[in-house]
A and B are shown apart, each in its own frame.
Chain A
Amino acid sequence: MRWLTDLKIATTNLKAAKTRTALTILGIVIGVASVTAVFAIGEGAKNLVRGQINQLGDDIVTVRPGKLAINQANTLLSSGVLPTFSASTITEHDFDTLKGVPHVAQAAPFMFVTGSIAQDKNQASGSIIGTTPDCSQALGLGLRAGEFVNDKSDRQTVVLGHQLAVDLLGTDVVIGQTIKLRGQEFTVIGILKPFDSSIAVSNAVDLNHAAFVSMQAAKGFNQGIAQIQQITVKTDNAKQTTQVANDARNALLNNHGGEEDFSVLRPQDAMQVTDQFFRAATNFISAVAGISIIVGGIGIMNIMLVSVTERTREIGIRKSVGATNRQILWQFLIEALVMSIIGGIIGIVAGYACAYLVSTAFGFLPGFTLGIILLSLMIGLGVGILFGAWPAMKAARKDPIEALRYLQ
């Protein structure tokens, strides 16, 4: 029960200097809150990426132009430059080759066309994507109404993403209406279900804002030449994904004369860039959060040092009635710990509130795990011990005679 007495002494002393205690706790709150927020947002982002892999299914292989260098420290910005500035290295012939790879169920090309999407004077922002009928199956796109693109039709037809239809026409009941893509008239034959957009599938394009046309129509915008930015390959068996990826790579290498100017990505590969981005961001913000927690700790140390000097006489009295150095040490250390535990708990709550605000603004939920809470609490406690120890030792080492002589 000794520690209970120590705890009571500590709380009494903390209550006696309310403002000072509150300000010190605030320092710890800010430190722990920032750490918690960073961890929670990072965890949330990781969950988001993982969720997309799961949602996408582990049976998808994505082929993109350009060599994506993975597993290097500085890959963050090195990918995607080639496909942006030069013509795509993937051809319709590659698409046909991929369809022939064993265990491939469906393959769907994406040909991105830049251009306006309009009806009368209304314009909406979105992407025009040329693809094949297989696409809806390969990506698991559900139709809210109508049918998907059909390359056999000679008409100029388009399937709209749900949000694009609403933005452009004010409603999602638009089958049969006519809109203009790059000034050409297209008839809406289908509306997609709202789609939880996945970075890996769509190459960072929001499918809810996409207008799907047939490859034929897309090539029509590009002087009859196909410009494929992505081919999504769905395997018939999730266990074969790696096998299919290897086969696809070999087949394409064959097509490209041994030059690897494309990337074949399994879901986890495709996620790697996103993952790396989040990790780098988390690391950076963690460093900032770390600084704030050190500042909080120095605040505790500062207050404790003042407190020790102010209470020199009290220390002398306690020692004169038989308190050992260790008991004095504990008294002051417990004060620091009480402050850092209270600050830690408030900080975790505040950190989660903060993480919630930030991450919902970006469209995901913060990760809420016991590990993060424990870690934040441990950091708070660690700061209390680390920065409370020196003042407490100073108090414990005071000479009782000198301390009793100290004038208050």
Chain B
Amino acid sequence: MQPAIEIFGLSKMFGVGDATTVALDNLTLTIERGEFVAIMGPSGSGKTTLMNILGLLDTPTHGEYYLESKAVADLSPVRRAKLRRDHIGMIFQNFNLLNRTSVIENVALPLTYKGTGKTQRLTAASRLLQTFGLNEREYYMPYQLSGGQLQRVAIARALVSKPAIILADEPTGNLDTKSSEIIMEELADIHRQGNTIIMVTHNPDVAIYADRIIQMIDGRIATDSKHPDKELDSDAKRPLNSFRKALEAAAKANEQYADATEVMTESLTPKKARKRRAAKTAKKRKAKK
């Protein structure tokens, strides 16, 4: 089976000359179909940049990107928009729904841009909303829904064009624990139905739903742990112990990295130091919570 995503030597640089920041540093990664990948890492480690490139919202500076074995790194904006529409579903931390548009029209939006007829696209949207238990709220406006409901609407929108991959950028970042659990169960369900999901998260409790965890540091992959027994195991509600160990190891590595940076701070350029310090305080704030 061909992999869903392959990237080779992918780099992304921002700025020019001395001000150049390396967001992604020579990244090589293969994600098979049907995988549920969690990407973790401190702020500034390049997770979001990677998601933007995988979601074809951004282009890499160097490197190759194959989406379903098709080279997509250097496509024209129109082609990328169409691939985004037909092959990629995106879920965001802040939902990103259209406020002045009803729930059902929001879900049908990708089909609207595809040119699907009104009846057809509303039927498809309605069917999806039903599976998320939102069929009674089809004609509600987004501001009439709770955060958890909004994220389910967003997931329905991501699924409506039957995409090859689903990219979720901190899908539970704005939700309380209970809603987070519901959303993650939904994503796990979607995964069990055979969808490929790539998720960025800070939260280890959320990451345990994934069957592969990639730890990123400084634009590179630090650890990549895959659970051997969990391959498309549709009965598994919770990850097995050995996988949890790998997860904890990743979290530990993350902390060690943060400690190490504190020592290194003086020798770094002011800009980099500031960035690292910001990453560290963010981490501490999270720990307090």
A interface vs B, CB < 8 Å? 1-2, 5, 12-13, 16, 313-314, 316-327, 400-401, 404
Contacts and interface: CB of A to CB of B under 8 A. Distances in A.
Contact of B82 (A5, A324, A401): A324
Contacts of A316: 96
Contacts of B52: 401
A1 B57 contact: no
Contact of A320 (B86, B96, B117, B161): B96
25 contacts: A1-B117, A1-B118, A12-B101, A313-B96, A314-B98, A317-B98, A318-B98, A318-B113, A319-B57, A320-B55, A321-B109, A321-B113, A322-B81, A322-B82, A322-B85, A322-B110, A322-B161, A323-B81, A324-B82, A324-B113, A325-B81, A326-B78, A327-B113, A404-B57, A404-B96
A5 B112 contact: yes
B84 interface: yes
Interface string B121-157: 0000000000000000000000000000000000001
| The 9 A-B residue pairs with the shortest CB-CB distance in the complex, in nearest-first order | A322-B85, A324-B81, A322-B84, A321-B110, A317-B96, A400-B57, A323-B113, A322-B113, A321-B109
Interface in B225-284: none
Interface string B180-214: 00000000000000000000000000000000000
B3 interface: no
B224 interface: no
B90 interface: yes
Contacts of A12: 100-101
Contacts, number: 65
Contact of B77 (A13, A318, A325): A325
A118 B90 CA distance: 95
Interface string B60-88: 00000000000000000110011111100
A320 B57 contact: yes
A324 B118 contact: no
A18 to B, nearest CB: 13
B81, B84, B118, most chain A CB atoms within 10 A: B81
A401 B50 CA distance: 12
Contacts of B83: 322
A13 B110 contact: no
A324 B86 contact: no
B97 A317 contact: yes
A322 B52 CA distance: 13
Nearest to A17: B100
A320 B115 CA distance: 16
Contacts of A404: 57, 92, 96
Contact of B84 (A1, A314, A321, A327): A321
A12, A324, A326, A404, most chain B CB atoms within 10 A: A324
A388 to B, nearest CB: 20
Contacts of B112: 5
B58 interface: yes
B162 interface: no
A327 B157 CA distance: 19
B114 A322 contact: yes
Nearest to B161: A322
A323 B82 CA distance: 8
Contacts of A317: 96-98
A293 to B, nearest CB: 31
A326 B113 CA distance: 11
A325 B84 CA distance: 13
Nearest to B48: A401
A313 B142 CA distance: 15
Contact of A2 (B57, B98, B115): B115
B108 to A, nearest CB: 10
A64 B259 CA distance: 109
Nearest to B87: A322
Nearest to B83: A322
Contacts of B58: 401
Contacts of A313: 96
A2 B112 CA distance: 8
Given A16-B100, A319-B81, A322-B83, 17 more contacts: A2-B115, A313-B96, A318-B98, A318-B109, A319-B84, A320-B55, A320-B57, A320-B90, A321-B85, A321-B90, A322-B81, A322-B110, A322-B113, A323-B81, A324-B77, A324-B81, A401-B58
